[in-house]
Homo-oligomer: A and B are copies of this chain.
Amino acid sequence: MKSKNIMELRLLSLSQNESFARSVVGAFATQLNPTLEEISDIKTAVSEAVTNAIVHAYPDTIGDIRIVAELSGNIIRVKVQDFGVGIRDIQQARQPFFSTANDESRSGMGFTVMETFMDEVIIDSTPAKGTTVEMKKSISKQDY
């Protein structure tokens, strides 16, 4: 297994990029030889973070989204960063079913899904500056 690798992806906050973003991180993660379920977990978590940037960070504009993924040993770290409105109360935002959006597809379960599917989720946000979500997951070592 290759020991270290890192990539950076910059996207626009267009909804058609949601599936693209999760595919890219999923494809990069395959270098760690994860199980299909681990790949699905990572793709789902990335989908949530990227959708949040598209829906919440840039409600009325098209902005930049930056994704950095790092492979090290059997660990993948994914950072999803936006430069949008930011989150005022992070504790509240993390609550299951809490959502500020009136869009029906926002269930308020985004952060809960990220926390369930990844080992660690760190949120760093400054109002009017933007939000960074850092996620980490260990991949099981598979034998051949």
Contacts and interface: CB of A to CB of B under 8 A. Distances in A.
Interface of A: 2, 5-12, 14, 16-17, 20, 23-24, 27-28, 31
B11 A20 contact: no
Contacts of A6: 12
B16 A11 contact: no
Contacts of A7: 9-12, 17, 20
A10 B66 CA distance: 11
Nearest to A9: B9
Contacts of A17: 5, 7
A91 to B, nearest CB: 33
Contact of A31 (B9, B16, B24): B16
B28 A2 contact: no
Contact of A27 (B10, B14, B24): B24
B9 A5 contact: no
Contacts of A16: 2, 5, 31
